[in-house]
């Protein structure tokens, strides 16, 4: 019993020592998402742009190695327009909202006391909060709107994804962080029975403030 108590106490001391040097970051940035759909061997890619905002909590492990869990909100949007001369046109406006929970492992190297470089990698659980397409059609001066819920069962589009990401960045003056990263979607978001795969990758670049 004494050994168990000793082990628990030692673990608690190690955890408290790590969290004593933990660092909180809050930031925002640009997102370019590539939605790749493969049907019968032919792949089409749709680019969607947006932004992210959120924060993380970096906990030192050993030397320059850290683990950083976080929570981020992503907003993506795209507008397409198709027309038949000057008589008719159709506009489709896509908007998607995501909640992302990354857990990244990073290694940093201090070049000077005020300038540090680092690289990171890790998984992200991504949950689609909403995905809707608003279609507006007009012909001869008459227009009509319709909104489609892309997560409706008829569209076979899954909400959940697991992303595997890599990236790099710099910390300046121990208070500003600039980072770039790329995430690969691991799950097939097509939920139907057809021979179709649908994956979403994303490129991000952003700035964060370190507390």
Q: Does any domain span residue 13?
A: no
Q: Does any domain span residue 169?
A: yes
* Residues 162-193 as b or e (16 or more Cβ within 10 Å = b): ebebebebebeeeeebebebebebeeebbeee
Rounded CA-CA distance 4/159 in Å is 43
Total structural domains within the chain: 1
Q: Does any domain span residue 8?
A: no
Residue 44 has pLDDT above 90, yes or no: yes
Q: Percent of the chain beyond pLDDT 90?
A: 75
Give the residue with greater pLDDT, 40 vs 205.
205
pTM summary value = 0.85
As a whole number, mean pLDDT of residues 12-17 equals: 44
Which pLDDT does position 11 carry in this prediction?
41
Q: Does any domain span residue 7?
A: no
Which pLDDT does position 144 carry in this prediction?
75
- C-alpha 103: how far from its chain's center? 12
Q: Does any domain span residue 14?
A: no
Which pLDDT does position 80 carry in this prediction?
83
CATH of the domain at 187: 2.40.160.20
Tell the residue number behind the tokens 């691991």, with chain if given. Answer: 186
Q: pLDDT for 117-159, tens place per residue? A: 999 999 999 999 999 999 888 665 666 788 999 999 999 999 9
Q: Does any domain span residue 17?
A: no
Residue 18 has pLDDT above 60, yes or no: no
Q: pLDDT for 79-132, tens place per residue? A: 886 655 555 667 889 999 999 999 999 999 999 999 999 999 999 999 999 999
Residue 29 has pLDDT above 50, yes or no: yes
Which pLDDT does position 145 carry in this prediction?
87
Q: Which residue range(s) make up the domain with 92?
A: 23-210
């Amino acid at each position: 019993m004494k050994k168990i108590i000793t082990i628990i106490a030692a673990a608690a001391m190690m955890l408290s020592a790590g969290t004593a040097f933990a660092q909180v970051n809050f930031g925002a940035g640009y997102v370019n998402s590539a939605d790749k759909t493969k049907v019968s061997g032919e792949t089409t890619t749709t680019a969607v742009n947006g932004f992210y905002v959120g924060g993380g909590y970096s906990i030192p492990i050993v030397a320059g190695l850290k683990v950083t869990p976080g929570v981020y909100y992503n907003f993506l949007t795209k507008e397409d327009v198709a027309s038949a001369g000057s008589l008719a046109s159709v506009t489709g406006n896509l908007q998607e909202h995501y909640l992302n929970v990354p857990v990244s492992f990073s290694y940093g190297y201090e070049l000077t006391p005020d300038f540090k470089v680092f690289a990171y990698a890790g998984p992200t659980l991504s949950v689609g909060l909403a995905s809707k397409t608003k279609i507006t059609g007009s012909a001869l001066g008459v227009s009509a709107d319709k909104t489609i819920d892309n997560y409706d069962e008829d569209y076979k589009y899954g909400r959940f994804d697991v992303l595997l990401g890599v990236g790099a960045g710099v910390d300046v003056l121990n208070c500003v962080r600039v980072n770039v990263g790329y995430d690969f979607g691991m799950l097939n978001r097509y939920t139907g029975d057809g021979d179709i795969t649908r994956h979403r990758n994303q490129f991000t670049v952003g700035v964060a403030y370190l507390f």
